[in-house]
Structures are given as C-alpha cells and as structure tokens.
Structure 1
Amino acid sequence: MIEKIRLWLSAELNSRILSDPPFSSYAEAAEQFLRELQNAPLPQGVLDQVKEQVSAALLTIMELRLRKIVWELGQARVPSRVTAEEDRLIRPLVKIRQAGPQRKRAQEYVVVQFLVDHPTIVTEDFVQVGPFTRGDLAKLPLRDAKDLEERGVARRFLGA
C-alpha cells in the first residue's frame, strides 16, 4: 500500500499532466491504508511515523494535482483522470464555464529549425513531439520555441 502511494507521488512529480490515480478517491486510499495498518505488528512509535509519512505524501499528491487542475481550468480544458473529491471540487466551475460565452484562446505557433539532435518534448499545450535530428523543422507554441532558442537547441525558422 505504501509503495502504491509512493508510485503515485512519483508519477505526479514526473509529469506535467494528471496521472491516473490508483484509487477512485483520497478517502478510499486512507481507508485502505488504515485497514492494512491495523494488522501490522509494529510498535506504536513506528506506526505513528508511518502514518505521518503517508499523510505527508498524500498532501503532496493533492497539492500537485490541484495545481495541475487549476492550470487546465485556466486553459479552458476540463481535467480528466480526477478523483471523486477533485471531481466534486471542479464540477461547479466547469458548469459555470460551459454556461458562459465560449472563447477560444488563440495560440501563436512558430516554425523552428533544430540546431542539434533533441529528444521528444511535451509542448505547453501538452502535445508530445519529436524526437528531432539536426535540421528538422517543427511547428511549436511560441513560448516553447523561445525556450529552445534561448538554450541554443533551435532557432525560429524564417522560411523563404
């Protein structure tokens, strides 16, 4: 059980998007953890430390996921792969957004030419592109293009 929570935390830390939660809700995770802990033949001091560490891990997972959810809502997207508690939190916000005037955010894209080989990247609009070899052209969001340009990986392609 602790390993399952550790893997969930690792998945959230290593991804810009929400990972698949291994539990349908945080309540389910807590109940399962407490059930398993009741049968553990550990001294009370160790049990208290384990509870504290798991609680801290779950709070970190919640914070990371809420940041990602808020970002997605700000991008006018409905987050998927949410827990029951997260769904209850965002459902009213999604309804308000759907009831209001629909605006489409225009994303500015530019063409870049890669100056060096580069592995796959995930753009700011969560599109996976690449890998790239020297000389490849790609159409990327302006912010991603600027980042690659600043790092000397690519330059904006002006064309003919």
Structure 2
Amino acid sequence: MIEKLRLWLSAEVNSRFLTDPPYGSYAEAAEEFARELQRSPLPQALQDRVKEQAASMLLTIMEIRTRKILWELSQGRVPGRMTAEEERLVGPIAKIKQAGPQRRRAQDYVVVQFLVPHPAIVTEEFVQIGPFAKGDLAKLPARDARDLEERGVARRFP
C-alpha cells in the first residue's frame, strides 16, 4: 500500500497535469489502507509510523492535485482524471463555466417562406429580423417557424 501511494505521489510530482489515480477516490485509498493494516502482523509502534507516512503522502498528493486542478480551471479548462472527491469539488465550478447562452445547432433552425407580407419579428432568441415581403425566405429558430406556420403567415421551405 505504501509503495502504491509512493508511486502515485511520484507520478504527480513529475507531471504537469493530473495523472490517472490508482483509486477512484481518496476514501477508497483510505479503506484499502485500513484493511491492509488490520491484516498486518506489525507491532503497534510500527503500525503507527506507517499510518503517519501514509497520511502524509496522501495529504501531499491531495495538495499537489488540488493545485493542478485550480491551475486548469484558471486556464478555462475542466481537468480530467479526477477522483470522486475532486469531481464533487469541481462540479459546481464547471457548471458555472458552462452556463450561459449555448450556440444553437444548425438543426435547431428552419428555413421558412413568407406567404404574406409581415412586419419585423423578435425571435425567441430576442433577435429582431424583418420586415418580410411575400415570398421572402428566412432562417428562424424552429419554434418561431412553427408559430408562423400555425398562423398561416409562412411555410417551412423544403
């Protein structure tokens, strides 16, 4: 167990980005350590020293990884290869970064042909377009196109 933590610490120290953690979470690492220590025939004094070493290494790993995560976030990126605890820590920040207007996909728009003259309209995206003459074509959000079509003002262009 100590060797596994030592290799993880070494990998983190020698990498600019997060490395693949050998555990899915820090809790999983602690549980494995506790199980192995219970099965160990080491004297109590030695077990206490091993606990100190393992805790120290795990804290150092956490500190290094947290610094890397904060650096990635400051660069506008959401890091990968995180433990479960790191995911919970970064989740709210990632949601904030991803919030805001999303670009619409091309299939979210429909081309319509106006059947009658129509004044300017404000789309669901609060964009003003128009006015339109009979026969004009316009690329509109699908919902706006459907509304105009239902009112008999425009039809979807094939």
TM-score for the superposition, normalised by structure 1: 0.62
Q: Which amino acid aligns with 2:81?
A: R
Aligned position for 2:43: 43
Q: Which amino acid aligns with 2:30?
A: A
Which runs of 5 or more residues in structure 2 are unaligned?
103-158
Aligned position for 2:62: 62
- Match of 2:18, SS state, is coil
Identity across matched positions, percent: 70
What CA distance in whole angstroms lies between the structure 1 residues aligned with 2:42 and 2:56?
20
- Match of 2:21, SS state, is coil
Displacement of 1:101 in angstroms is 6.8
Aligned position for 1:79: 79
Aligned position for 2:4: 4
Displacement of 1:2 in angstroms is 1.2
Post-superposition, which runs of at least 4 consecutive aligned residues in structure 1 deviate over 4 A? none
Q: Which amino acid aligns with 1:34?
A: A
Which runs of 5 or more residues in structure 1 are unaligned?
103-160
TM-score for the superposition, normalised by structure 2: 0.63
Aligned position for 1:88: 88
Residues 82-126 of structure 1 show CA distances to partners (whole Å, capped at 9, x for unaligned) of 000000000000001111479xxxxxxxxxxxxxxxxxxxxxxxx
Q: Could you say which structure has the larger radius of gyration? A: 2
What CA distance in whole angstroms lies between the structure 1 residues aligned with 2:77 and 2:54?
31
What CA distance in whole angstroms lies between the structure 2 residues aligned with 1:87 and 1:100?
21
Displacement of 1:67 in angstroms is 0.2
What CA distance in whole angstroms lies between the structure 1 residues aligned with 2:15 and 2:49?
28
What CA distance in whole angstroms lies between the structure 1 residues aligned with 2:35 and 2:21?
19
Q: Which amino acid aligns with 1:70?
A: L
What RMSD, in angstroms, separates the aligned Cα atoms of the two structures? 1.2
Q: Which amino acid aligns with 1:89?
A: L
Aligned position for 2:28: 28
How many residue pairs get aligned? The number is 102
Q: Which amino acid aligns with 2:77?
A: R
